[in-house]
Amino acid sequence: MPEFTAVSRERHAGKAWRHYTSYSFTADDAVLPLAASELVQAVMGMPVAFVQQDGRYVLMAVLSLTPGRNLFVAPDGRWMGEYVPMVLRGYPFRLLRPEGAAQSILCVDESSGLVFDAGHNEAFFTDDGVLADTLKQVLTFLGHLERNHAATDLAVAALVEAGVIEPWPLTLNSSSTYTPVIGLHRIAEDRFNALGDDAVLTLRRAGALPIAYMQMLSMQQTKVLKRLTEIHEQHARAEAAKAEAARLATLNVNLGLLSDDIRLVF
């Protein structure tokens, strides 16, 4: 589990950090928040949906139809897609807003394995006690992303107000078992197309129209999830075959040693 802690001079003045080289930290994320500004790239390689969180709908990249699993993360931690959601790129840092606070604060995941004693990689602070330049750049990026997500949330709220979001009836197929996927929502195309001019104008002013069109376009990318599932299954079979071959090799060696010790007594 991530352990995000507020970045402070008192705690991190003698610390350093490095950039991630593996996406294993997101291997359990079946969905991730998206900003409207990244949709043009995202929908080319992954499905996009709306998910209810804390009483509101959030625009999400769909990375798996199975909760707790991210198909885009390979067993060795590589990312197996053409596009990486922006929300991942600031790791191990994140802007979080304490309960009741007016502003978000910069936090770091101290369980990430990317935080070290001073002298390694990127320093948190300069000798003068101010944020180091690289971390300033990360903070600027995260602030930009937070503003984009806020604007996206307002646009999605306009789609909800227009009544054009509906459950997305997807099914997870496994052998002969068919399990309905719960929690994903899409644009109701018939209702969206039936909107009057005033409603369409309201959505345009809210920046919601591109989100609606991109979400509908992205639905064809469920085939990407199917292909990634096949890749993971192929890898699992290959690993199982290697493990079995190693077991048999060990067994044969043990049998050979045993046969050397056997002496027939008459």
Residue 239 in domain? no
Residues with Cβ within 8 Å of 163's Cβ and at least 6 positions away in sequence, in order, are 188, 191
Residue 94 in domain? yes
Residue 262 in domain? no
pLDDT tens figures, 3-54: 999 999 999 998 999 999 999 999 999 999 999 999 999 999 999 999 999 9
Residue 175 in domain? yes
List, in sequence order, the alpha helices (H) in the chain: 9-12, 39-42, 133-161, 189-193, 197-205, 209-218, 222-261
| pLDDT band, very low/low/confident/very high, at 265 (cuts 50, 70, 90) | very low
Residue 102 in domain? yes
Lowest mean pLDDT among 61-70, 109-118, 213-222, 237-246: 237-246
Residue 153 in domain? yes
pTM across the whole model: 0.87
Residue 29 in domain? yes
Task: Share the mean pLDDT of the chain.
Answer: 91
Residue 197 in domain? yes
Total tally of structural domains belonging to the chain: 1
| pLDDT band, very low/low/confident/very high, at 261 (cuts 50, 70, 90) | low
| pLDDT band, very low/low/confident/very high, at 175 (cuts 50, 70, 90) | low
Residues with Cβ within 8 Å of 9's Cβ and at least 6 positions away in sequence, in order, are 125, 129
Res 263: pLDDT: 52
Residue range of the domain that includes 168: 4-220
